[in-house]
Amino acid sequence: MANMYAYNTSTARKLSDADFSYGHNLRSEIQKEVNKTAKKAMPKASQKRGKKGFVSVVVAFAMAFSVVSGYVSINEANNEISRLKNEYNSIVADNQALQVKIDRTIDLGQLQSIAGEKYGMVSPERYQMFYVDLEMGDFSESTDVKIKNEQTKKMAISGVPGIITGALNIFQ
């Protein structure tokens, strides 16, 4: 209260402690009462702000928790996929190793003797074998020429001359 001002008609002047008619003790008592009333009024407003603040902190924490838990579940799924891929690759490698082992143990001479003895299979004779030549000559055909030929056929068929040509082709 040392910085109090009084307004006098048109000028302001600073009041000194001597301008107050009551003593220093009275001033401190008034200040205490003002502080008590302010403290009593504040808790309601601060309680509302406190509740809103608490709710907003809880909501923010829940959102952060949901985002983090989503990333954790994605990471766990990726780890599981990686583990399963590694397991699959090791199984494929084992299968290939077993197939190589099986292929090495097959003896063609033994296979031929078993086929002949047990199943009565024999090698084909010379007269039973024949060869087919599947080699075809290399050639190319322009699609432009093919399309022009088809267009000329369509032109020949359309109209009265085309009807006559078509009828003649039927009787050939």
pTM > 0.75: no
How far is residue 7's CA from residue 25's CA, in Å, rounded to a whole number?
Answer: 25
Task: Please say if the pLDDT value at position 135 is more than 90.
Answer: no
pLDDT of residue 61: 94
CB 5 within 8 A of CB 12: yes
Task: Please say if the pLDDT value at position 35 is more than 80.
Answer: no
Q: Which amino acid is at 156?
A: A
- Give the burial string for 118-134 (b: 16+ CB within 10 Å, else e): eeeeeeeeeeeeeeeee
Task: Please say if the pLDDT value at position 89 is more than 90.
Answer: yes
The torsion angles phi and psi of 5, rounded to 5 degrees, stand at -120, 145
How far is residue 167's CA from residue 66's CA, in Å, rounded to a whole number?
Answer: 81
CB 6 within 8 A of CB 12: yes
Which distant-in-sequence residues (6+ apart) come within 8 Å of 168 by Cβ? none
What radius of gyration, in Å, describes the C-alpha atoms of the chain? 53
pLDDT band at residue 37 using 50, 70 and 90 as cut-offs? low
